[in-house]
Structure 1
Amino acid sequence: MDSDVPYRPLLTLDPDVRFLPVIASIVALIVSQDSVPAIGQESMIASNAVAPASYDAAAAGTTPAADQVCDIGDPRSPWTPGDGVSASAQLRRFSDSIRVGYDDGFVIASLRERDLETEAFPFRLKVNGWGQLRHTASDVALPNTDLNQFQMKRARLILSGNAFLPDLTYFTQFDGRSSSGDDMRLLDFYLSYDIGHSQFGFEKGTFGFRAGKYKMPFTMARWLSGKEFEFSDRSVASTYFDVNRSLAVGLFGESKHTAIPIEWETAIFNGFVTGGAETGSSGNLDDNFAYSIRLQGYPIGDWGDSQLADFESHDRLAMRVGCAFAGTTISRNGSTEFNTPRVVDSGQTFASILPLAVDSYHVSQFALDASLKWRGWSSTMEYYFRNLSDFEGAGIPSLLDHGFWFQLGYFVVPEKLQVLTRWSRVDGDSGTLGASDQSTDEVGAGLAWYLRGNRAKIVTDVTRLDGAPINSSALDVNPGDRGWLFRTQMQFSF
């Protein structure tokens, strides 16, 4: 040691200087392993779990004062015996399983799925993605045309996490699909704040606030993520009564201590199916807000992680039930909303058959659903009602449409091969402005082969249509379609 430089033990230095050797030792370890440990290891430093091996001394007594000199091995040292060796071993094991660096491109790699325990971190970013490649072939009656194409139905990139607080979360989802050409759209962007947990110490999820663009709380079919479907896509009936996405503010919560566990959500938003509509003075939205609420409960059994298929092979029956309401007033000066609703069974827009004198009308929609899982069986049914009333400008009576979808699945090979069947129906008098009822049916069957649960699967299904009342590029169904629809879809998600 240079005699001109006074000797001071490491633990008597300023805190910022004191940790320089610690940081240097970690960097040396990284270089020796050709890998970078996770940033989450800073918690090891903060908790005094990382120390140079030279400070393997007994730790007894109190921490020394900032200006007090402690020699190596002093019993008042904060380091416990073996800390340095233990920390080095932990870092070596971690760096062996996670690699970050440049390998003909920037790479983040992990040997296995890990629980990083980052939920309590104030800053967090998680990246997910999933896609669905589908072949569709149809054989429908004229004047509609047949289809035979490969399509990218969904190509999603998701950025989610939290910022500043663990209870302040964000969710951003981008969507690219072949029906939109090469365009990438912002499908979802919203912020959620868990007020109950952050401000009052309630259990997480008890009471929160949400704002942005997201799925409106109404049908269970829309609440489901597309990667959870058993068939290739949603049913005709659920699409007909759909509220979809919008710009909104809302509240959400759950209660685990009531007679049955309950989840709920409510929102005020721009209007039905207005998610991608242009806003502001240049847009075509009316000035009427829409509103909705959804309640969901689990009266029997432990439902499990999967939303539809019984991957858990429940020995005891598990049940999920829900109900919802949505309402709004639709005005002619908002062409986006006015031209959206369709009628049974032609699939024409409601606006195209209304008298020109009609300036506005009111829409009320209701939904009820129930789902079951038991020994590889899965069953779901959702029933809808839509009432159109209070027509201003013409003497039109209240119109009622209603419909449902019922779906049944069974794993013939547990967790791997599932057989499926579905019936969907829409009935009502909207297409005749109350003169008579009309109806349309959708009947389908399919197979699902799960390679890795819903993360990787192949689904093939065949559907018979009897006059479709919707126009949906997602379902490959056009207004008035009568005939057969064949779909085979590959899905991958991470």
Structure 2
Amino acid sequence: MQTNPVICCFRLGYLEIIAMRRKHGHFANRGRRWPSVLLALVALWTYASPAQSQQVSLTPLIASDHASDVPLSDAMRRIEQLEQSVFELQHRRPTGLIEEDDLICFDAPAPESPSHYPIYDAGWTLRPYDADKTPFELTIGFHNQLRYTGFSRDEATTIDAAGNVNAIPNRNDFDVNRGRLVFSGYALDRDLGFYANIDYSTVASSSIQPLLTWISFRQSDALTLYMGLGKVPGTWEWQQTSRYTLGADRTLATTFFRPSITAGIWGNGRLGDTVSYTVFVGNGFNTLTLRSSDLDTNFVYSALAWWEPLGDFGVGFSDQEQHDHMAIRLGHGLTQTQNDSTSSDQSGAEQTVVRLSDGTRLIEPNALATGITVNAFDVWLYTVHLGLKKQGYSFSSEVFMRWLRNIEGTGGTQLESLFDSGFYVQSGVFVIPKKLELFARGSAVTGNFGTGSEVAAGVNWHLFDARSARFTFDVTDIRDSPAEQSRTGYVAGESGTLVRAQLWTFF
């Protein structure tokens, strides 16, 4: 079959344009490709206009003495080469070079659908359409606790068990006691979770620091394994997030007895429908800000288990859920660790958080005996708790028992063991369901060096009928505080009236 030279020239120029656009983008290298493009346009014009074709000879276009003209057979080979080039370029699909509205397109594949979509779910969440195909989800949350604190002291100074005279300050200030930027989700597999809590504060020693961070492996409802920086469980009120306390913060008794945060491995889960647990092995009782050079070689071991025989108790202590039927939580916990002296027969950095019942640090020189400084001891902490919720009413209580054993002082002096006990009781009622709650609470600590206590009353206003924004106002009468902690606002040895007003927001 005879090849029409006009069609041949048109195909040659047309494929030149396609190849040029596919390889280089729109009209790239125009100077080098214009002879073929011009050839195709002239042929198309000649073929489409019979009147003009009688006056214009095709021979000069096909066979010419000019060096740039190409014989028909060469043009056909060039067409085949260009067709092959276009086919290959179509299957490469170079990113960003071919526009979606490109008019010259040969069977171009449709663009892939997006793998994720944004949604709000207790934070800004990037969620996959198909978690099996793209197993990654990220939620970014923001928490903020702005508090006004006012304190009117009864006395300007106190004297502790070691004979030190300590000043008791009045207070009248605003602070961000807790601010949290939280990243959480899963990656690689839906059962491989991650969590990172970046804390900022105007009251802590470090204004910005990682607070809780971990990787989790979910095995089943019965066990999820965690590795990272976490809470030593110890007590119920400590295990619950500070967002869910009944008052502005945790009670005085919890602040005195509770462990804190350390690096370690832990697991939690449910055994059947009614029993839950968490177990923990970590570096120490409270090592959040410590480095390996500050630690002794002893681990802390802690477990907390609870029973909910009548159904899900829910988080926190307020009956925000408005349970139609009674919900009960009954549980207990045990924590144990040893604290060794340093190589120079001195107290270790891990030991600074343990206090006597009058607020004196256990390792303060002369605290237990004149001329003696404690540098080694064991801690055993046992707790029992009970919680009730029904139709907006709530009651909760926890009892603490702590033994300090194998107490050793400088020079190898062996000292007597100490036992301290304490408790809190608290109750609340929603006078406007899910919105306005009145509460009262009290707590106390008793030991060899005296008794400290608090009694408080206040109101919680849930701004949006939910836990995401809560305004709290409470007034507390404190007598001889045994506890001291910057976030809760207690100062060891103080007596007086504490007023707190705060807004907790988290979204």
Tell me the TM-score normalised to structure 1 length: 0.72
Alignment-derived partner of residue 386 in structure 1: 402
Alignment-derived partner of residue 42 in structure 1: 115
SS, match of residue 172 in structure 1:
strand
Tell me, yes or no, if the aligned pair for 1:357 and 1:394 is still in contact at 8 Å: no
Alignment-derived partner of residue 397 in structure 1: 416
Q: Are the structure 2 counterparts of residues 109 and 210 from structure 1 closer, same or farther at C-alpha, using a change threshold of 3 Å?
A: closer
CA distance in 2, matches of 1:244, 1:289: 14
CA distance in 2, matches of 1:472, 1:276: 15
CA distance in 2, matches of 1:296, 1:310: 18
* 1:139 equivalenced with 2:155 (yes/no): no
Tell me, yes or no, if the aligned pair for 1:317 and 1:373 is still in contact at 8 Å: yes
* 1:130 equivalenced with 2:143 (yes/no): yes
Q: Name the aligned partner's letter for residue 318 of structure 2.
A: A
SS, match of residue 308 in structure 2:
strand
Out of 213, 231, 255, the position equivalent to 1:189 is 213
* 1:156 equivalenced with 2:180 (yes/no): yes
* 1:116 CA drift (Å): 5.2
* 1:212 equivalenced with 2:224 (yes/no): no
CA distance in 2, matches of 1:19, 1:383: 68
Q: Are the structure 2 counterparts of residues 241 and 180 from structure 1 closer, same or farther at C-alpha, using a change threshold of 3 Å?
A: closer
* 1:133 CA drift (Å): 0.6
* 1:342 equivalenced with 2:355 (yes/no): yes
CA distance in 1, matches of 2:237, 2:416: 30
Q: Deviations over 1:99-155 (max 9, x none)?
A: xxxxxxxxx999x99995777652222101110110000011222111000111111
* 1:395 CA drift (Å): 4.2
Q: Are the structure 2 counterparts of residues 181 and 245 from structure 1 closer, same or farther at C-alpha, using a change threshold of 3 Å?
A: closer
Alignment-derived partner of residue 64 in structure 2: none
Out of 290, 301, 306, the position equivalent to 2:311 is 301
Out of 414, 424, 439, the position equivalent to 2:451 is 439
CA distance in 1, matches of 2:504, 2:186: 28
* 1:354 equivalenced with 2:368 (yes/no): yes
CA distance in 2, matches of 1:173, 1:315: 35
SS, match of residue 339 in structure 1:
helix
Pairwise CA RMSD of aligned residues? 3.2
Paired positions, count: 391
Out of 321, 325, 328, the position equivalent to 2:337 is 328
Alignment-derived partner of residue 421 in structure 1: 440
Out of 422, 440, 461, the position equivalent to 1:449 is 461
CA distance in 2, matches of 1:17, 1:401: 76
CA distance in 2, matches of 1:427, 1:109: 47
SS, match of residue 350 in structure 1:
coil
* 1:359 CA drift (Å): 4.3
Tell me, yes or no, if the aligned pair for 1:301 and 1:316 is still in contact at 8 Å: no
* 1:312 CA drift (Å): 2.0
Q: Name the aligned partner's letter for residue 328 of structure 1.
A: T
Q: Are the structure 2 counterparts of residues 113 and 479 from structure 1 closer, same or farther at C-alpha, using a change threshold of 3 Å?
A: closer
Alignment-derived partner of residue 32 in structure 2: none
Q: Are the structure 2 counterparts of residues 375 and 331 from structure 1 closer, same or farther at C-alpha, using a change threshold of 3 Å?
A: same
* 1:261 equivalenced with 2:274 (yes/no): yes
Alignment-derived partner of residue 470 in structure 1: 483
* 1:408 equivalenced with 2:421 (yes/no): no
Q: Deviations over 1:74-95 (max 9, x none)?
A: xxxxxxxxxxxxxxxxxxxx9x
* 1:182 CA drift (Å): 7.7
* 1:285 CA drift (Å): 2.0
SS, match of residue 238 in structure 1:
helix
Q: Deviations over 1:162-195 (max 9, x none)?
A: 222211111110111111478311111111112x
Query: Where do 5+ consecutive residues of structure 2 fail to align?
Result: 1-6, 16-78, 80-86, 102-111, 158-167
Q: Name the aligned partner's letter for residue 203 of structure 2.
A: S
CA distance in 1, matches of 2:375, 2:260: 24
Q: Name the aligned partner's letter for residue 379 of structure 2.
A: V
CA distance in 2, matches of 1:127, 1:40: 24
Q: Name the aligned partner's letter for residue 152 of structure 2.
A: D
Q: Are the structure 2 counterparts of residues 357 and 310 from structure 1 closer, same or farther at C-alpha, using a change threshold of 3 Å?
A: closer
CA distance in 1, matches of 2:359, 2:194: 37
* 1:234 equivalenced with 2:250 (yes/no): yes
CA distance in 1, matches of 2:391, 2:141: 31
Alignment identity in percent? 27
Q: Is 183-192 or 112-121 further displaced after alignment? A: 112-121
Q: Name the aligned partner's letter for residue 179 of structure 2.
A: A
CA distance in 2, matches of 1:383, 1:20: 68
CA distance in 2, matches of 1:17, 1:325: 65
Q: Name the aligned partner's letter for residue 252 of structure 1.
A: N
Q: Name the aligned partner's letter for residue 492 of structure 1.
A: T
Q: Name the aligned partner's letter for residue 421 of structure 2.
A: H
- Which is greater in Rg? 2
Tell me the TM-score normalised to structure 2 length: 0.70
Q: Are the structure 2 counterparts of residues 185 and 116 from structure 1 closer, same or farther at C-alpha, using a change threshold of 3 Å?
A: closer
Tell me, yes or no, if the aligned pair for 1:289 and 1:328 is still in contact at 8 Å: yes
Alignment-derived partner of residue 33 in structure 1: none
Tell me, yes or no, if the aligned pair for 1:242 and 1:273 is still in contact at 8 Å: no
Alignment-derived partner of residue 74 in structure 2: none
* 1:308 CA drift (Å): 1.9
Q: Deviations over 1:51-82 (max 9, x none)?
A: xxxxxxxxxxxxxxxxxxxxxxxxxxxxxxxx
CA distance in 2, matches of 1:357, 1:491: 41
SS, match of residue 473 in structure 2:
strand
Q: Name the aligned partner's letter for residue 179 of structure 1.
A: V
* 1:370 equivalenced with 2:386 (yes/no): yes
